[in-house]
Amino acid sequence: MRRKHLLVLALVAILLALPLGAANENINYTDINKIKAEGMQHSQVMELNSWLADVYAPRLTGSPMAEKAANWVVGKLKEWGLANAKIEPWENRNGFDRGWTNDKFYMAAVSPDRFPIPGTPTGWTPGTNGLQSGEVVLVTATTPEDLAQYKGKLKGKWVMTQEMPDVPAYWDAIAKRYTPEQLQAMELATAPQPEFGVTPPGGGRQGGAPAGRQGGPAAPGAPGQQAAAGQRAGAPGAPQAPAAAGGRGGQGAANARNDFFRAEGVLGTISTAPRGHGIYTISGNRASDPATTLPAIVIPAEQYGRIGRTLAKNIPVTIEADIKNTYYPNPPVFNVVGEIPGTDKADEIVLLGGHIDTWHAATGAADNGNGVAAMMEAVRILKATGVRLRRTVRVGFWEGEEQGLLGSREYVSMHFASRKPAPAGAGAGPGGGGGGRGGAPVRLEDLDVKADYNKLSVYFNIDNGTGALRGIYLQGNDAVAPIFREWMEPFRNMGMTTVTIRNTSGTDHQSFDAVGLPGFQFIQDEVEYNAIVHHTNLDTYERLQPRDNVQMATICAAWAYLAANRDDKLPRKPLATAPPTRPTTH
């Protein structure tokens, strides 16, 4: 009896030691250790980053450099032995009727004193057609009534379009990592419960997330969050750039003001960003018509303020500029793919990816060459170690993310499923394919399902800068939580600890989530992402953190391995079959 009693106590102790909701994943630590050794000791990720940031950049969608970069990526994938490595054109051009590059930029003040003016043309705006010189005038008016006072006074002038910004000091450290307390707060967050057809507060950042692109705690006091912190520029629901800077918001007033300036013979417009310290944010509108658009230049707050303060003293300022921009009609628009074929489950797919396009004020190292390099390195690690993969592991690098998740949305529509046109008066999901319409659950009857819809196990995305992986957002998919918790165990000593039910938005996993497919974005340390690099002229190789990049690529390789070798595909969120009923109100 005593022996039986002790056995019962031992069994109870074992059961109590098991984590709640354990998935009992079969983890092959021999293979995991091979992946960790290759990834951490023989990493090529920073060399890949250098090629993407120093040689094949910037990669504005539709530019010749974007195509050169794609060909280089295909070549590397083939060199490593991946199958079906190729450039895959979009079926829909999505408004990319013109490619664009900035080929030359020179701007300087020439009186009352000479000084250089760094800056970048807004995307898809024209150049100056040679050296142009003119006085500067400040015009903040936006309505036809207020603009009327300038009629006949602007010919041959450069127009500054906003007041001089106040630039805050960097009182605190800019670079941030998640603290244990912040990660714990994220893990304790409850699942979002949006009302059917109603977008949750925060423009798609669900789960009660504070400002900050990932949906987690923002870097406290980080400069540049005034306009850039919520979602990605270019993503639906994101804060739009000022009209004068070529953004997509306020198009009616912006077009009217642009037309007035053109009719008056303005040389071009100049705008800035409030963060200062030489940093400014760039954007662009691919629909801009060079025949009806003015040169639009973004410059740092320091030079903008110097000019503005001089004008306020009634001292004229003259600047000269020579800007050459080139348009490319009907450029190639595409995604880049390659794969490692699986064995007994080769028809099922584990997909890794990130967007390959960038903005053009810098080289797009953290947004998102870093993500492309990490996923390239992940598949290189899998090939180098020779670990057995039951499912096919595929990589996909998407163009047009900065214009609204276009490349991933096209890929999902071509291979897995697309959203049927919304009924009249109904809202579209984020990114036109980035979440249930208006935050609602995905309904099967809303989908045009393709042959491979049931073959995708999971999509993992990297696109939050250089920071180390600290966990993963579940996108409201409770069923994968115990699986991911067990997958994290081999990497807890590398800082990967947190599973949160919260959603995150503004990048390519949404294109998969929009049609009911498991698509996930990792939690990453903020580092300097919103503070310095996101869409700015400082997004260069120097902003990357090598140790973080090595960790990131290694974990991505291991998670692809784990997903590829499970007996079952990862669980999906259940599809809704009909909208829930609402009580009638009178």
Residue 256: exposure state from Cβ atoms within 10 A (0-12, 13-18, ≥19) = middle
Per the listing, tokens 């399902």 go with 449
- Taking only the tens place, the pLDDT of each residue in 379-414 is 999 999 999 999 999 999 999 999 999 999 999 999
What was the pLDDT predicted at 138?
98
Residue 44's identity, in one-letter code, is Q
The residues, any chain, with a CB within 8 Å of residue 46's CB and separated by 6 or more, are 373, 544, 546, 549, 550
- pLDDT score of 195 more than 70: no
DSSP assignment letter at 555:
H
What was the pLDDT predicted at 566?
97
Q: Is the model more confident about 31 or about 444? A: 31
What was the pLDDT predicted at 576?
77
Q: Are 400 and 94 in contact (CB under 8 A)?
A: yes
What was the pLDDT predicted at 11?
41
SS3 508: coil
Cα separation, 92 vs 97, in Å, equals 11
How far is CA 448 from each of CA 411, 418, 444, 553, rounded to the nearest angstrom? 14, 5, 8, 34
Residue 576's identity, in one-letter code, is A
CA 3 to chain centre: 60
- pLDDT score of 193 more than 60: no
- pLDDT score of 217 more than 50: no
Cα separation, 386 vs 379, in Å, equals 11
CA 355 to chain centre: 7
- Taking only the tens place, the pLDDT of each residue in 96-107 is 999 999 999 999
What was the pLDDT predicted at 244?
36
What was the pLDDT predicted at 88?
98
CA 490 to chain centre: 28
Q: Can you tell me the mean pLDDT for 107-127?
A: 98
What are phi and psi for residue 574, nearest 5 degrees? -65, 140
The residues, any chain, with a CB within 8 Å of residue 560's CB and separated by 6 or more, are 350, 352, 378, 379, 382, 393, 460
- pLDDT score of 153 more than 80: yes
- Taking only the tens place, the pLDDT of each residue in 300-322 is 999 999 999 999 999 999 999 99
What was the pLDDT predicted at 444?
85
- pLDDT score of 117 more than 80: yes
- Taking only the tens place, the pLDDT of each residue in 521-567 is 999 999 999 999 999 999 999 999 999 999 999 999 999 999 999 99
- pLDDT score of 15 more than 90: no
- pLDDT score of 213 more than 80: no
Q: Are 429 and 404 in contact (CB under 8 A)?
A: no
What was the pLDDT predicted at 216?
42
CA 477 to chain centre: 21
What was the pLDDT predicted at 443?
87
- pLDDT score of 284 more than 80: yes
DSSP run (H or E) holding 10:
helix 2-17
Q: Are 229 and 212 in contact (CB under 8 A)?
A: yes
What was the pLDDT predicted at 208?
32
- pLDDT score of 218 more than 70: no
What was the pLDDT predicted at 422?
75
Cα separation, 359 vs 362, in Å, equals 7
Per the listing, tokens 């705008």 go with 271
- pLDDT score of 227 more than 50: no
Q: Can you tell me the mean pLDDT for 45-51?
A: 98
CATH superfamily, domain 29-96+331-565, is Zn peptidases (3.40.630.10)
What was the pLDDT predicted at 250?
56
**29-96+331-565 with 98-162+242-329: one CATH topology?**
no
In which band, very low, low, confident or very high, does the pLDDT at 253 lie, cut at 50, 70 and 90? confident
Q: Can you tell me the mean pLDDT for 190-214?
A: 38
Q: Can you tell me the mean pLDDT for 412-423?
A: 91
- pLDDT score of 423 more than 90: no
Q: Can you tell me the mean pLDDT for 77-96?
A: 97
How far is CA 556 from each of CA 86, 313, 480, rounded to the nearest angstrom? 22, 57, 17
How far is CA 529 from each of CA 51, 129, 431, 525, rounded to the nearest angstrom? 21, 36, 22, 9
- pLDDT score of 577 more than 70: no
Cα separation, 74 vs 335, in Å, equals 11
DSSP assignment letter at 443:
B
- Taking only the tens place, the pLDDT of each residue in 336-358 is 999 999 999 999 999 999 999 99
What was the pLDDT predicted at 426?
55
Cα separation, 109 vs 577, in Å, equals 64
- CATH number 3.40.50.10330 given to 98-162+242-329: no
Q: Is the model more confident about 325 or about 425? A: 325
Q: Is the model more confident about 152 or about 236? A: 152
Residue 342's identity, in one-letter code, is G
Q: Average pLDDT over the chain, rounded to whole? A: 86
- pLDDT score of 20 more than 50: no
Of 201-210, 225-234, 294-303, which one has max mean pLDDT? 294-303
Q: Are 207 and 477 in contact (CB under 8 A)?
A: no
SS3 143: coil
- Percentage of the chain surpassing pLDDT 70? 81
What residue ranges do the domains of the chain occupy? Answer: 29-96+331-565, 98-162+242-329
In which band, very low, low, confident or very high, does the pLDDT at 582 lie, cut at 50, 70 and 90? very low
Closest CA to 373 of 459, 466, 491: 466
Q: Are 299 and 321 in contact (CB under 8 A)?
A: no
* 443 DSSP β-pair partners: 576
- pLDDT score of 3 more than 90: no
Contacts 24+ apart (CB under 8 A), 200-204: 200/439, 202/230, 203/230, 203/231, 203/237, 203/238, 203/505, 204/231, 204/237, 204/430, 204/434, 204/435, 204/439, 204/503, 204/505, 204/506
What is the model's pTM? 0.86
Compute the Cα dihedral for 257, 259, 260, 265 and give only its sign. Answer: positive
What was the pLDDT predicted at 243?
36
